[in-house]
Structure 1
Amino acid sequence: QKSRTRAKAPNTAYSRRHKVSLQGLQHGDSCWAIIEKVQHPLRRFKFWNVVALARKRQDLPKVSDGQRVVQGYLCITNQNIENKHDERLFFRAPDNTSVSQPLELSGTVRQHYEELIADYQERHRDAVQKRRKKGSPDEPLGREPAFSRFITQRTKKDEPKLKDGDLVYATLKRKGMGVEVDFIVPVSVPRVGYRRTIGELLHPDDLSACQDIEHLCPACRTFGWVHPSGKDDSQAAVAYAGRVRFTHACRRPGNGDSGSFSATLSILSTPKPTTTRFYLRPKQGKPRDGLPDSQVNYDADSQILRGRKFYRHHGDQLSEQEYKSPDGRKSDQNRTVHDVQPSGTEFEFTVDFENLAPIELGALLWSLEMEGWHHRIGYAKPLGFGSVIIQVTELEIMNPNSRYQSLVTDGWENVLSSKERWIDEFKTAMAGRYGTEFYKLPNVRDLQALLSDTPPLPVHYPRSTKEPQPEGRNYEWFVGNKRSGRNSGPR
């Protein structure tokens, strides 16, 4: 493969360095090598470059000045990056005295490694199966890189992901007068799991799951609850049945019969959790500029998750430039949707509820109508699809006394005129509970900002260019953002 770094730095020691052949050698083979230090032309570090490689020491050529002979193990992770040009040799330098004895791996370190590999394999499972139909996933296919070795091997659930002799990268940490293994990973630039769980990152008063059936929030009381720990104590209540059911929404007859269309959508992006400032906020106060990455990550005690995920309302008119794939171009990364309904199409559905207290019914009614703000329903919400306004047009409750005391009436009563009264009861209860006006509650203000008819703003994924890119290269913005803080300094 051609090296982009070489192209940017011609006539340097790096660009002229010798490339050895790996023919006849396999991952994990014990080898002898001649190595020499080379200065990286674009970054301020030196690295050991292998200039000769052999199974036996006597098969190596003569050593030149500035070179040394080492014994090590060959680590081959496949052509897993498009412009990758090197594999790795694991060796111990004679002057390396940081660890004099083998280190034990704790059960926790092993477990985290197994979980990491299993996660890698699960994320790429469908893509690997698709590649197997065309060729080996361990080899590049056209411009598509190969998959890393650890993704395609030992994929069965009962297979251990870590065996004696495996080559891994380890991070060490101080322990008393010595060191211990903090974690191990399969590649030099890995995805590493954080120690704090999602539950530990949630704001305890806003987002944590209810723990006790005697202290359920309005949402759990209305839609149902299951004990988060899954406890099997036969004497304790571990679930609460929901009291609300939704039917399918059906298009109203004669409404939206014409105007539906098909569209090949732009490539949808994926979450970028490593851009931690998108997902975290301080426990106290507002986010601050200039903090180093070490203080804004998922293991930092001062940080919590910002909140629930929302797709902002894009406005009444969507821009085809933003949601359509250029020239209708199709790929294995985008989707084509059919029978998309035009703006203004109306649907009907029914919400069945039972045994709701007046305040709970008011909460349900407000949550449905939500001041005329927009619910976000269905597919392609990041591109602006699925903005829906819900109106309660009928409201009926069954009066048990009327039903069972009369042979004439069925007990159903139209109570639409009481809708606003129940909504007001809910608002009054919330204002009294939290000590502020309903519309000044932080979560209500957030909903209004996200889902109301705000001024038409350009809502799209972060990108490095003003106009959308046909290839959907949204990752370039995130790469550039990371590089701007390469040394984890203030940003």
Structure 2
Amino acid sequence: MLRGRKVYPHHAGLPDGYWQDPATDRTQILDGGRYQEYRRPRKSAIPENNPRANPLNRDGTAFTTLTRGGPQDENRDDQNRSIKGWVRPGTTFTFTVDVRNLTGAELGALLWLLDLGTDEPSRFHRLGLGKPLGFGSVRLTVDPARTDLRTGESWAEYYRSITPDEPVSNGFPAAARETVEEFRQAVAGGDAGQFERVPHIRAFLAAASGDPSTPVHYPRVRPTGLRVDVPVPPDPRGRSFEWFVQNERQGRDVQGSRGTSLPDLGALPLPVYPGKDR
């Protein structure tokens, strides 16, 4: 059976300068409650022939990585890829949506999605690759002046006439806005005031807004020796799979259990399992 949605919420609450100087490895430095998630840490400083050695620094606050800074220290393997550039923040894209034969509620759903960030600027759609790392948060808006929206009545009048004139464009009338209310009522069973409490709408809005108090990243285990008051930083050894292994083990004493399912967005974060010494 399905075990919940797998989505990566908008990375809210990122510190100033998070996207600056991306080539510099800051993955083990906690800044405003966040680590540099989009960069692979440099190689672990522990010898490859001694996997049981302590991978942490003396303070137990982060993993120890090679610090020479040369190409030989970079973690280049099948778990990462190098990106030499990305779309600059603030870039504007334009596109056209062509719609036909929509009901009022269907048009209302589309308009609600396209204007998601107008009333709530902190809500974003996600576009493209790298969403687990914070990329791809975009805000959509409708350009009323360039909108050509025609009702069925307008088309009927056009086909009844014998003139070559195009049917009258209704532009972006107030009636089109009213379809948003029709959509909200349809989803909420007639009570538009309950719209944002409907489970799948609530989950969608939570993903669109993010949570400034909760970092977004792949789930991690807590290595032995890491201070309990320090969030788990990215592991230079690339052991992202360990959380999933530990999660599968949690339910072995329960018939049919397969560990922790993904929680509803807005609920408590996933549990942090203790790492196994290796």
Q: TM-score band, normalised by the shorter chain?
A: 0.5 to 0.7
Tell me how many residue pairs correspond in the alignment: 188
Q: Which of 3, 6, 10 lines up with 1:313 in the alignment?
A: 10
- Correspondence 1:343 to 2:79: no
- Correspondence 1:474 to 2:240: yes
TM-score by length of 2: 0.57
TM-score by length of 1: 0.34
1:445 corresponds in structure 2 to: 202
Counterparts of residues 105-144 of structure 1 (less than 5 Å): none
1:326 corresponds in structure 2 to: 41
- Correspondence 1:400 to 2:155: yes
User: Contact 1:374/1:389 (CA < 8 Å) preserved in 2?
Assistant: yes
- Correspondence 1:458 to 2:215: yes
| Alpha-carbon shift at residue 434 of structure 1 (Å) | 7.6
Counterparts of residues 30-45 of structure 1 (less than 5 Å): none
SS of the equivalent of 1:361 reads helix
SS of the equivalent of 1:347 reads coil
SS of the equivalent of 1:423 reads helix
Large movers: runs of 4+ above 6 Å:
none
Matched residue type, 1:321: Q
User: Contact 2:13/2:212 (CA < 8 Å) preserved in 1?
Assistant: no
SS of the equivalent of 1:321 reads coil
| Alpha-carbon shift at residue 444 of structure 1 (Å) | 1.5
Cα distance in structure 1, aligned partners of 2:189 and 2:252? 49
Cα distance in structure 2, aligned partners of 1:322 and 1:473? 14
Matched residue type, 1:478: F
Q: Deviations over 1:405-438 (max 9, x none)?
A: 3434454331254442121121123333589721
2:107 corresponds in structure 1 to: 361
| Alpha-carbon shift at residue 338 of structure 1 (Å) | 4.0
User: Contact 1:464/1:477 (CA < 8 Å) preserved in 2?
Assistant: yes
| Alpha-carbon shift at residue 440 of structure 1 (Å) | 2.1
Distance 1:308 1:487, change over 3 A: closer
Cα distance in structure 2, aligned partners of 1:316 and 1:343? 15
2:61 corresponds in structure 1 to: none
Cα distance in structure 2, aligned partners of 1:456 and 1:384? 15
| Alpha-carbon shift at residue 456 of structure 1 (Å) | 4.0
Q: Which of 130, 136, 139 lines up with 1:386 in the alignment?
A: 136
User: Contact 2:35/2:233 (CA < 8 Å) preserved in 1?
Assistant: no
More strand by share: 1
Q: Deviations over 1:375-400 (max 9, x none)?
A: 22211111121112211123322332
| Alpha-carbon shift at residue 362 of structure 1 (Å) | 0.7
* Structure 2: stretches of 5+ with no match in the other structure: 19-33, 43-73, 223-231, 260-278
| Alpha-carbon shift at residue 354 of structure 1 (Å) | 0.4
| Alpha-carbon shift at residue 343 of structure 1 (Å) | 2.3
Cα distance in structure 1, aligned partners of 2:134 and 2:141? 21
SS of the equivalent of 1:396 reads coil
1:429 corresponds in structure 2 to: 186
User: Contact 1:401/1:411 (CA < 8 Å) preserved in 2?
Assistant: no
* Structure 1: stretches of 5+ with no match in the other structure: 1-200, 202-304
User: Contact 1:396/1:416 (CA < 8 Å) preserved in 2?
Assistant: no
Distance 1:363 1:436, change over 3 A: same
| Alpha-carbon shift at residue 340 of structure 1 (Å) | 0.8
Distance 1:320 1:480, change over 3 A: closer
| Alpha-carbon shift at residue 476 of structure 1 (Å) | 2.3
Distance 1:486 1:422, change over 3 A: closer
Matched residue type, 1:315: A
Matched residue type, 2:149: I
User: Contact 2:185/2:191 (CA < 8 Å) preserved in 1?
Assistant: no
Matched residue type, 2:130: A
Cα distance in structure 1, aligned partners of 2:216 and 2:158? 52
Distance 1:320 1:411, change over 3 A: farther
Cα distance in structure 2, aligned partners of 1:435 and 1:410? 33
Matched residue type, 2:195: F
